[in-house]
Structure 1
Amino acid sequence: MEYRHGGELYKASKASSVAPECIIDFSSSVNPRSITGKTVVAIATAMSKLGAYPDPTQTNIKEALARVHSIGTKHIVAGNGSTELIYLIAQAFASNTGSHQAGSQKKALIVEPAFSEYRRALKVNGYSIENFNIENFNAGEAAGDFTLDTEALLERALEEKPDLLFLANPANPTGVLKKKSELLRLASAVEGTGTTLVVDEAFIDFVEGDVSILSEVTELKSTIVLRSMTKFFSIAGLRLGFIGAHPDTIEQIAAVQPPWSVNSLATAGGVAALADSAFITETLKWLKTERGIMTKELGEIEGLRVYPSSANFLMVETTAPGVTATGLQDRLLKEEGILIRNLSNFKGLEETFFRVAVRERAENSLLATALQALLNPAAL
């Protein structure tokens, strides 16, 4: 069975007859560490006010984001998860008559492999879509790190002049982190060319250090930074994300956004989560340790190749003859109640790639044991 996204527990349950609550979900790259009491209390308090409409101006969440990221509220628009914002970007620029291709079909370039919703959003808004294909990555047996060739991407962007250029940092599903300096150079290079660069930083909160370009690009008219709050703060059910960009771009996107997109619970939870510095520090410390242990455990299994990652997930390739990600996904789910993310529907990746989120240590070890049993039963 094909899964469009990670976290499709009910679909997986129906296919396997395993109850959703009994599935160990490695397919969804959401922080497994639960939100803290302060955030829970804030959400619970907001529930007593559900009879009132949410603030259509998004004042509270914008001010909280502005404080944390040291940018002005005029540079921010929040949304019902970053996925809504992807669609709004595509819609806003599809109707933009001020681009270099006014009156003609809009063009987009996607750095692949990538989140499938970029393509869906662009397709429903009538874009002609091209890929910066996997051949432009240092992939394969020799390199194996999926590092982006920024020079080749820039050359192609300047030649083709797409209206929108989508890339993610860290990349999903590879987990590769691009250098901040390279992204800023790319952002500067496309300024004024008619191309708008969209950098999806959905997983950047899981990376330590000064790696985001958010604060640097808000004065550039041709760069948009997408951010998700649901993954790091483990509030995927609330749906909350935001865009950082030039005020003119923010105004353009906000003009096509339906009112009340950010609900009251998401606002309350988001504001409280942003103020929880202890949760942020502890999560980063935890991830660094557990990702290292998980990488080592999976890397020791004959028949698997684990790719380095800067995010809260690992991309893994099966190297054993005849073994596919689809086969592993089906068997792990039905035999062990474990759900992994089959990556065969990602452009540029084959049937041998899958992704697993970093979860708590006992669950990660359970996954390693299950994979060892499937691939090398004699080794147990």
Structure 2
Amino acid sequence: AGAAEAFVLLARTLPVRRPVVVHPQFTEPEAALRAAGHAVGRVLLREADGFRLDVSLVPEDADLVVLGNPTNPTSVLHPADAIASLARPGRTLVVDEAFVDTVPGERESLASRTDVPGLLVLRSLTKTWGLAGLRIGYVLGAPRTLAALAEAQPLWPVSTPALVAAEACSAPAAFAE
């Protein structure tokens, strides 16, 4: 039911000790983590640097790192290789790509990357297609992690109209549009 549900499922499901959210960022990931009882660290990107990702600011012992690409609210598009460099054994790297379909060619997307351990990419159909009220999105990642999220999901999380809209938005004609 959209990226907001994905953030809640991640917060409730993943066994994390030191989650970090890179800001400026959509507030839902941090709110979901806090609501699930996690003490959340923040990495604050500097306005003087154009809010560009500085991977050295992310603590080495963070076992969950969440960031948006492009970010909401700054619209900064971080290089995919810089984001991928945050991957570590034992770390989950969550990239919120809810707005990446507004970037021509979706450059810097990590959605197709299978070489980044612990990577979860959250995508949304609600921005480009104007489907915010239908709450439709998806998570890409390792099958075992996705199965754990699905198991924690409530029954019938996505409505029939949302599923029909998702199918329509995924059709060849919609892709061409």
- TM-score when scaled to structure 1? 0.44
User: Given the alignment, which residue of 249, 259, 270 partners 2:166?
Assistant: 270
Taking the TM superposition and a 5 Å limit, the aligned residue runs for 1:116-265 are 116-134=27-45, 137=46, 139-140=47-48, 143=49, 145-150=50-55, 152-153=56-57, 156-158=58-60, 161-187=61-87, 190=88, 192=89, 194-209=90-105, 210-217=107-114, 220-265=116-161
User: Is residue 66–residue 93 contact of structure 2 (8 Å, CA) maintained in 1?
Assistant: yes
User: Is residue 108–residue 163 contact of structure 1 (8 Å, CA) maintained in 2?
Assistant: yes
The RMSD of aligned alpha carbons is 1.8
- Cα deviation for residue 197 of structure 1 reads 0.7
- Name the SS of the counterpart of 2:156 in structure 1: coil
- Cα deviation for residue 221 of structure 1 reads 4.5
User: Is residue 214–residue 244 contact of structure 1 (8 Å, CA) maintained in 2?
Assistant: yes
- Cα deviation for residue 116 of structure 1 reads 1.1
The residue type paired with residue 89 of structure 1 is: L
Distance in 2 between residues matched to 1:195 and 1:186, nearest whole Å: 9
Distance in 2 between residues matched to 1:157 and 1:247, nearest whole Å: 27
Distance in 2 between residues matched to 1:214 and 1:162, nearest whole Å: 22
- Name the SS of the counterpart of 1:90 in structure 2: helix
User: Is residue 221–residue 248 contact of structure 1 (8 Å, CA) maintained in 2?
Assistant: no
- Name the SS of the counterpart of 1:172 in structure 2: coil
What's the CA shift string for 1:116-163, capped at 9, x where partnerless?
A: 1111101111111111024xx3x23xx5x221113x13xx332xx223
Distance in 2 between residues matched to 1:245 and 1:111, nearest whole Å: 20
Distance in 2 between residues matched to 1:126 and 1:206, nearest whole Å: 34
Q: 1:227 to 1:133 in 2, by over 3 A?
A: same
The residue type paired with residue 259 of structure 1 is: L
- Name the SS of the counterpart of 1:198 in structure 2: strand
Partner of 2:2: 81
- Name the SS of the counterpart of 1:216 in structure 2: coil
Percent of aligned positions with the same letter in both sequences? Answer: 36
- Name the SS of the counterpart of 1:237 in structure 2: helix
Structure (1/2) with the larger helix percentage = 1
Distance in 2 between residues matched to 1:180 and 1:220, nearest whole Å: 11
The residue type paired with residue 216 of structure 1 is: R
Count, aligned residues: 176
The residue type paired with residue 214 of structure 1 is: A
- The gaps in structure 1 that reach 5 residues or longer are 1-79, 100-105, 283-380
- Cα deviation for residue 276 of structure 1 reads 5.2
The residue type paired with residue 149 of structure 2 is: I
User: Is residue 84–residue 116 contact of structure 2 (8 Å, CA) maintained in 1?
Assistant: no
Partner of 1:113: 24
The residue type paired with residue 41 of structure 2 is: E
User: Is residue 20–residue 43 contact of structure 2 (8 Å, CA) maintained in 1?
Assistant: yes
What's the CA shift string for 1:288-338, capped at 9, x where partnerless?
A: xxxxxxxxxxxxxxxxxxxxxxxxxxxxxxxxxxxxxxxxxxxxxxxxxxx
- Cα deviation for residue 242 of structure 1 reads 0.4
The residue type paired with residue 51 of structure 2 is: F
Q: 1:166 to 1:176 in 2, by over 3 A?
A: same
- TM-score when scaled to structure 2? 0.91
Highest relative contact order (Cα 8 Å, sep 6+), 1 or 2? 1
- The gaps in structure 2 that reach 5 residues or longer are none
- Cα deviation for residue 280 of structure 1 reads 5.0
What's the CA shift string for 1:167-192, capped at 9, x where partnerless?
A: 000011000001122222223xx1x1
User: Is residue 20–residue 64 contact of structure 2 (8 Å, CA) maintained in 1?
Assistant: yes
The residue type paired with residue 127 of structure 2 is: K
Q: 1:212 to 1:149 in 2, by over 3 A?
A: same
User: Is residue 166–residue 198 contact of structure 1 (8 Å, CA) maintained in 2?
Assistant: yes
- Cα deviation for residue 85 of structure 1 reads 0.6
What's the CA shift string for 1:78-107, capped at 9, x where partnerless?
A: xx01101110011111xx3xx6xxxxxx32
